[in-house]
Chain A
Amino acid sequence: MAGTIKKFMFVNRKAPYGTVYALESLEVVLISAAFDQDVSLAFLDDGVYQLKKGQQTKGIETKNFSPTYRALDGYDIEKLYVEQEAMEARGLTEEDLLVDVTVLSRREMGALMEEQDVVLSF
Chain B
Amino acid sequence: MATIAVDGKDYETDEEGYLTDLSQWNEEVGKFLAQQENVDLTDQHWEVINFLREYYNEFQIAPAVRVLTKAIGKKLGAEKGNSQYLYELFPYGPAKQACKIAGLPKPTGCV
Residues of A in contact with B (beta carbons under 8 Å apart)? 27, 30-31, 33-34, 63-65, 67-68, 70-71, 74-75
Contact = CB atoms under 8 A, between A and B. Distances in A.
B28 to A, nearest CB: 26
Contacts, number: 35
A64 B60 CA distance: 8
Contacts of B71: 74
A67 B64 contact: no
13 contacts: A30-B61, A30-B108, A31-B108, A33-B67, A33-B109, A34-B109, A63-B60, A67-B60, A70-B58, A71-B63, A74-B67, A74-B70, A74-B71
B59 A68 contact: yes
Nearest to A32: B109
Nearest to A34: B109
A68 B62 CA distance: 10
Given A27-B108, A34-B109, A68 B60 contact: yes
Given A64-B60, A67-B60, A68-B61, A75 B67 contact: yes
Interface string B26-62: 0000000000000000000000000000000011110
B59 A30 contact: no
B47 to A, nearest CB: 18
Given A74-B70, A74-B71, A30 B64 contact: yes
Contact of B59 (A27, A63, A71): A71
Contacts of B60: 63-65, 67-68
A61 B64 CA distance: 26
A71 B58 CA distance: 9
Contacts of A31: 108-109
B61 A34 contact: no
